[in-house]
Amino acid sequence: MNLELSEEQEAVRRLAEEFVAREVTPHVVAWDRAENVDRSIVKKLGALGFLGLTVPEEYGGSGGDHLAYCLVTEELGRGDSSVRGIVSVSLGLVAKTIASWGSEEQKRQWLPRLTSGEAIGCFGLTEPGTGSDAGNLATRAVRDGGDYVINGTKMFITNGTWADVVLLFARTNDAPGHRGVSAFLVPADTPGLTRRTIHGKLGLRGQATAELVLEDVRVPAATLLGPEGKGFTVAMSALAKGRMSVAAGCVGIAQAALDAAVRYAGEREQFGKGIAGHQLVQELLSDISVDVEAARLLTWRVADLIDRGQEFATAASQAKLYASEAAVRCANNALQVFGGYGYIDEYPVGKLLRDARVMTLYEGTSQIQKLIIGRALTGVSAF
């Protein structure tokens, strides 16, 4: 793999870095305290093409390869994980899944709106009683003439209250041993669909995380995404690519932790000298830097495999597992460098730690990534 960025990749990385400095960084503390990112950010992300990366240009995408997508995601994650998550979900889990599985009509209906930021998507898989065992859904879609009628509840849905379209997973077949899950593109204003914002999150406070309740939600059969009964495959294919995006966001957190810790170590003095000159502080900084580089290389490897059309799912789990755990370690080590000031939200590292923590939980917990990797190594499913 060529680790040198092309001119185009470097240009898109710089564009994202400048965007974050201008549109995100000045507001990060206020958005975190208010538990609300300013929604106008979505159109701004769309205007720069960040919501259409890797989506074909004929559907409003901005093209680009998966490494460029990682670079943008890393820069956004370095600035604010709540903003990064908007892109990872609306583009990474929803638009890219429509591009892969959608009918021509579905692509024309949703992709230009999603990639421009005129519309936003959310991914409705998790339920109150169904998390890691994602194939075991209780939400049901029952065929009624030319429609499906859907009932159920979805939990922890990123972009949930902002979304215009829900990529929703529901059971359509109860036969024993049959996964029987199907995917639907449900417009968020469909009668019977109500949404409630989930407050009090440890991190990602600016993000619109929601519970969705579906009571007799009637949608035409044309909203089915992919064949009936193939919804679990649709979900898993979305999540495999999504894990690369989460990993890239984690690299951004880890890099932000390193930048902040090195800067602070150069300013703070104790015992008559700068703390950067204390060996145990250098140990913290060096541990962070190794984690940053290792997480980045694992993540870029996934992008390279996807762009070369190779199998990437196990590599994506390895990258997501390592990068998410590394992001927590890096933010925690950076907080140690800051001492007591790290514990106050005027300084950036506490938020990095809070935001990093969920990365080991969503899109498959660290335990689930280990089971995916273990299955690939042994051929034995230990789920």
Residue with smaller CB distance to ligand FAD, 156 or 347: 156
Question: Residue 367: CB partners within 8 Å, gap ≥ 6?
Answer: 132
Q: Is 89 in the site for ligand FAD (CB under 6 A)?
A: yes
Nearer to ligand FAD, 124 or 152 (CB): 124
**Nearest-5° angle of CA 178, CA 181, CA 182?**
140
Please report whether residue 361 would count as binding ligand FAD according to CB under 6 A.
yes
Question: Is residue 162 part of the contact set for ligand FAD (CB under 6 A)?
Answer: no
Given a contact cutoff of 8 angstroms between Cβ atoms, the answer to whether 249 and 75 are in contact is no
| Residue, CB closest to ligand FAD | 131
Interface characters, 180-219, with ligand FAD (x: CB under 6 A): ---------------------x--x----x----------
* Piece in contact with ligand FAD (CB under 6 A), picked from 44-52, 107-115, 184-192, 367-375: 367-375
Q: CA-to-CA distance for 297 and 317, rounded, in angstroms?
A: 14
Kindly tell me which residue out of 56, 112, 131, 277 binds ligand FAD, with binding defined by CB under 6 A. Answer: 131
Here the tokens at position 227 are 């064949």
Which CB, 207 or 332, lies closer to ligand FAD? 207
Task: Pick between residue 32 and residue 363 the one whose CB is nearest to ligand FAD.
Answer: 363
Asked whether the beta carbons of 341 and 382 are under 8 A apart, the reply is: no
Q: Applying CB under 6 A, does 163 fall inside the site for ligand FAD?
A: no
Q: Give the shortest CB-345-to-ligand FAD separation in angstroms.
A: 18
Name the segment binding ligand FAD (CB under 6 A); options: 6-14, 62-70, 150-158, 302-310. Answer: 150-158
Least Å distance, CB 334 to ligand FAD, is: 22
Report the distance separating Cα 305 and Cα 53, nearest Å: 17
Distance, in Å, from the CA atom of 328 to the CA atom of 226, rounded to the nearest integer, reads 36
Nearer to ligand FAD, 12 or 163 (CB): 163
**363 is a catalytic site residue:** yes
> 3-state DSSP: the chain helix, strand, coil percent, rounded to 5?
55, 15, 30
Q: Which of 126, 245, 317, 333 binds ligand FAD (CB under 6 A)?
A: 126
DSSP code of residue 362: S
Q: Is 232 in the site for ligand FAD (CB under 6 A)?
A: no
Euclidean distance between CA atoms 378 and 222, whole angstroms: 40
Single out the residue of 40, 270, 282, 367 in contact with ligand FAD (rule: CB under 6 A): 367
Q: How many angstroms separate the most distant Cα atoms in the chain?
A: 79
CB of 225 to ligand FAD, least distance (A): 15
Report CA torsion sign: 53, 50, 351, 206.
Answer: negative
Active-site entry in 75, 127, 325, 363: 363
Burial of 35-69, coded b for 16+ CB within 10 Å and e otherwise, reads: bebeeebbebbbebbbbbbbbeeebbbbebbbbbb
Three-state DSSP state, 167: strand
Binding flag, residue 236, ligand FAD (CB under 6 A): no
β-partners of residue 193 are 214
Q: 119 vs 157, which CB is nearer to ligand FAD?
A: 157
**Is 148 among the residues that bind ligand FAD (CB under 6 A)?**
no
Residue type at position 371: L
Q: What's the CA gap between 3 and 304, in Å, rounded?
A: 10
Number of amino acids touching ligand FAD (CB under 6 A) = 23
Which residues are catalytic, by number?
A: 363
Residues that bind ligand FAD (CB under 6 A): 89, 122-126, 131-132, 156-158, 201, 204, 209, 358, 361-363, 365, 367-368, 371, 383
